[in-house]
């Protein structure tokens, strides 16, 4: 019996070592930018290391704002969602909400709050969100799970109404947004994530058109990120295993 337990323990240890992604802790000196004396405070921080041997775009594992080597949420987003084509209207609206909420914030912050947004805004269904009234807005303003910025909350509702108007005009929002590239994916085939632009002529064009249609928080930089998020633009680097 003692021997069997020993073998079982060994197998469990081997399974643990075989996991694709493992978490390790180390002490690191993190400069506290809020310290008036610019002192360096030693803190214990979590660092995560990728051990599955896959090549990934650099941004997905170098999030210094989170004080981690990479975020598991960001890795999952990069591997399964980023630059993957979306054609379902409700999800196109949901991604527009998430991208416009990012203004002034890091993407990891939005990913961490994504499920709260989906729960709080009726699964980010534009038909339902468009009916939100002032009472609902006040309730959302007291919701700690989302970004409690009144202008941003109002823009989610406003953009739902504008979204429905586009649907009525074009049949689907999918037809509208993908018409700008004749339904083709723009693959930039980048060598490095440092080559990713903040905006492009395409995002400028779409931003301008969306603003004319009444959308808010849709500047060219936000729209460029949106086009990546819904797969119109593929900015995975050439050596990325998830392009």
Binding-site annotation, residues for Zn(2+): 78, 236, 240
Binding residues: 78, 236, 240
Q: Any idea which residue has 């989170």 for tokens?
A: 66
Q: Which among 99, 114, 117, 226 is annotated as catalytic?
A: 99
Angle between helices 220-229 and 89-101 (to 10 degrees): 140
Q: For 234, phi and psi rounded to 5 degrees?
A: -110, 110
> Can 82 be counted among the known catalytic residues?
no
**Contact (CB, 8 A) for 126 and 99:** no
Active-site residue identified among 107, 117, 178, 226? 107
Assess whether 77 carries a catalytic annotation. Answer: yes
H or E segment to which residue 156 belongs: helix 150-170
Instruction: Report the catalytic residues.
Output: 77, 99, 107
């Amino acid at each position: 019996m003692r021997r069997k337990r020993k073998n079982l323990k060994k197998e469990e240890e081997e399974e643990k070592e075989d996991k694709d992604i493992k978490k390790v802790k180390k002490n690191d000196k993190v400069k506290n930018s809020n310290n008036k004396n610019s002192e360096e405070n030693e803190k214990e921080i979590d660092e995560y290391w990728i051990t599955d041997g896959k090549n990934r775009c650099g941004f997905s594992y170098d999030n210094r704002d989170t004080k981690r080597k990479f975020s598991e949420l960001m890795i999952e987003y990069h591997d399964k969602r980023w630059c993957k084509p979306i054609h379902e209207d409700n999800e196109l609206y949901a991604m527009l909400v998430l991208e416009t909420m990012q203004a002034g914030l890091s993407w990891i912050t939005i990913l961490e709050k994504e499920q709260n947004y989906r729960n709080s805004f009726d699964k980010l269904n534009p038909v339902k969100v468009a009916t939100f009234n002032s009472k609902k807005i006040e309730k959302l303003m007291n919701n700690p799970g989302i970004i409690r910025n009144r202008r941003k909350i109002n823009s989610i509702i406003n953009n739902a109404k504008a979204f429905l108007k586009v649907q009525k005009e074009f049949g689907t929002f999918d037809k509208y947004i993908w018409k700008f590239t004749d339904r083709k994916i723009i693959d930039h085939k980048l060598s490095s994530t440092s080559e990713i632009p903040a905006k492009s002529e395409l995002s400028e064009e779409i931003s301008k058109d969306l603003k004319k249609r009444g959308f808010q928080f849709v500047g060219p930089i936000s729209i460029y990120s949106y086009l990546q998020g819904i797969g119109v633009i593929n900015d995975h680097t050439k050596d990325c295993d998830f392009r």
